Structure 1
């Protein structure tokens, strides 16, 4: 089964500044495309979308332009600041680069009001005009912020990253499932099966994460899920190989068509690859 990775982070400290990495020493080092493909290609991953890595704001455009020239990177989800009045100028520049499929502005740990301002909403409404979607990344306790934004932008395609970041190591379930059901009710959002292994601990097993993945697929449906590696964040408690194999095991009883939707068909359609 071929895979299109919708969530690959590449880190080039010699080129860009990543202020947040000072607080993540385990992955605060180079993660280049060559080393990724060395592990990814034998797993059946044939292409990848690069996900912005929250570089210093003046470097956002440069990061996007750089990664689009790398091996088998078929598109990028670029960083952006929809809270700024001149956001459309950024969209124009991203469009001119070609192959920018979407925008992400990290909302996790940001002030709750950031995504609720009229400027933010109006700018997210611009994305369909540029053929772009919006990736939402929040922690599970912030999921209540998601439905108002999605409802306010009915023509925009949203992708909820990392299954909504359930706190698996803490056994979080009911609060997460309740909030995820409210998100899934909205037709213009899909969920990315990624980031699960950043929310576990060293004792994780496939059976421990299975209910979370299965819940997302059941709640959103096979037509509204995509797969992402979240490499190198996935290496905090596992590695790319273990995550691919775990996902394959969890969906092994699904039909070939259903698995194709998760691993590549939906991604090609939703991101316009």
Structure 2
């Protein structure tokens, strides 16, 4: 990284009383103050120490811009119970950290579920009508509305019964020895946070990177998302042999190239 800049690990309390949780984040200062800040929004059960998140920060260092990474509650180094997590809760935390760091302009880089949170964040910031301004979106294997569009239709009778009786169901994870846990509150909250219900106006360029061998979020889901972005400058890159992680060297290079382009345009 630049000798003139550095990354700082910090924590921010979000919520009050029994809803308070400590959110861990890393902010890398900028060499160029007038440039947008790159903001990493990770996926379900991922953390800010992942390969793509660190590559985003490395690209920020290369271009002399600021970078911000965070762990949602129940993820990585943040506090809170993972099973209390919902899209609304994780969105609240992400917005709170950005408000605390207070960049004037941002480029949101969302991976998988983070793509959903990025789209919801654009809506929330527009509703507030104040800073930061969103200069661009980089969506990597984005999973907007995944609870409603991908999980609910595929539920087995046993999983539905578990949701009713236990409040959650478990699913074997390909990425961890621990199973994925999907709670009833996550699924219910997902319905209130759907974005694929009408035209999404981000007001900025949108770059989507999607693997065609993605077993978790089929590439057809990315094609569906594009249909809801008719007013934006959208570039969709389909990677024929790419999986959901898109963490191979060639995938990471594509991500860094897209980020570089957006920063330069900004």
TM-score grouping bracket, smaller chain normalisation: 0.3 to 0.5
Decide which structure has greater helix share: 1
TM-score when normalising by structure 2:
0.39
Q: Using CA pairs under 8 Å that are at least 6 residues apart, name the structure with larger relative contact order, 1 or 2.
A: 1
TM-score when normalising by structure 1:
0.39
Decide which structure has greater strand share: 2
